[in-house]
Amino acid sequence: GGERDLLGKRVLISAGGTREYLDAVRFIGNPSTGKMGLALAQAALHRGAIVTLVHAPIEESVPPGIRAIAVVNAEQMQQAMLENFPDADLTVMSAAVADVKPAAYSSEKLPKRSLPEQLLLAPVPDIVAELGRRKQLHQRLIGFAAQTGDIITPARQKLAQKKLDAIVANPIDKADVGFGSNFNAAIFLDFHGRQVEISQCSKLQLAHHLFDFVHGL
Ligand code: C5P
């Protein structure tokens, strides 16, 4: 793809790991640092896009030129994504969304002795699946699938089930790629059946490879 192939396009990206709080301090979360989403936002900006980044708590600051919306949990992320989705030409859901939340929430910190022995869980909305249902003809939607073991089969299933145009199958059981790393490796899949393997590179390089891959989809 050309340097400025996203000129004037509206790109919506989610990043980071959502936190589902049980009380004022304790939460269910995951090791996502938001680096991949930030790299996607930077790459899109570089290619001329108008970029909105909806991010759960992340470890780095958002570079200037990117419109950032900070959220904490999956429900807040869903609300921000649904609000911004209708204007987006291209949406990349790179956030690691917690699949469940504690069924109850206490705004006070629970004393240790009153913590339940078993934690009741409730599902959180599948954000990208909802975006897939709302997607209009001109919109493109890309998801991620962080997996161990066979990464391709589950990624293909998610691509179809969530009505995505493409998916990034991301191995998280390899050395120095994935969560928290500055590097990543992936297999890109699209709904036409195209499949491209990207060997270890920086997250910024991977982001550019992804925009190259989806160019013309
Ligand atoms: O099904 P799984 O969670 O592995 O799918 C991963 C993809 O779905 C990612 O793009 C992730 O951002 C998205 N997702 C979501 N809402 C959830 C769980 C995952 O949008 N509750």
126 appears as a binding residue in the annotation: yes
Establish whether 182 is a catalytic residue: no
Least confident range of 4-8, 11-15, 106-110, 174-178? 174-178
pLDDT of residue 25: 97
Q: Measure 70 CA to ligand 1 centroid, in angstroms.
A: 18
- Neighbour-count burial for 30-67, b at 16+ CB within 10 Å, e otherwise: bebbbbbbbbbbbbbbbbbbbbbbbbbbbeeebeeebe
Secondary structure of residue 31 in the 3-state scheme: coil
46 or 3: which leads in pLDDT: 46
If one looks up domain 10-214 in CATH, what number appears? 3.40.50.10300
Secondary structure of residue 80 in the 3-state scheme: helix
Rounded to the nearest integer, the mean pLDDT of the chain is 95
In the chain, what percentage of residues exceed pLDDT 90? Answer: 89
63 appears as a binding residue in the annotation: no
Report the nearest atom of ligand 1 relative to the CA of 128: 20
- CA dist., res. 45 & res. 150, Å (int): 33
- CA dist., res. 82 & res. 128, Å (int): 10
pLDDT digits (tens, 9 = 90+) for 117-141: 999 999 999 999 999 999 999 999 9
Q: Whose CA is nearest to atom 1 of ligand 1?
A: 158
State whether the beta carbon of 15 lies less than 6 angstroms from ligand 1. no
State whether the beta carbon of 77 lies less than 6 angstroms from ligand 1. no
State whether the beta carbon of 99 lies less than 6 angstroms from ligand 1. yes
At residue 1, does pLDDT exceed 70? no
Question: In three state form, how does the secondary structure of 81-137 look?
Answer: HHHHHHHCCEEEECCECCCEEECCCCCCCCCHHHCCCCCCEEECCCHHHHHHHHCCC
pLDDT of residue 182: 85
Cα distances (angstroms) measured from residue 55 to each of 13, 73, 110, 139? 8, 10, 27, 21
Contact between residue 20 and residue 28 where contact means Cβ atoms under 8 Å apart: yes
User: Could you tell me the pTM of the whole model?
Assistant: 0.96
Spell out the domain ranges in the chain: 10-214
Average pLDDT over residues 17-41: 96
Contact between residue 19 and residue 74 where contact means Cβ atoms under 8 Å apart: no
- CA dist., res. 118 & res. 107, Å (int): 19
Q: Measure 128 CA to ligand 1 centroid, in angstroms.
A: 6
62 appears as a binding residue in the annotation: no
pLDDT digits (tens, 9 = 90+) for 45-88: 999 999 999 999 998 999 999 999 999 999 999 999 999 999 99
- CA dist., res. 43 & res. 65, Å (int): 12
Report the nearest atom of ligand 1 relative to the CA of 131: 20
State whether the beta carbon of 85 lies less than 6 angstroms from ligand 1. no
Q: Measure 105 CA to ligand 1 centroid, in angstroms.
A: 23
At residue 179, does pLDDT exceed 90? no
Secondary structure of residue 44 in the 3-state scheme: helix
168 appears as a binding residue in the annotation: no
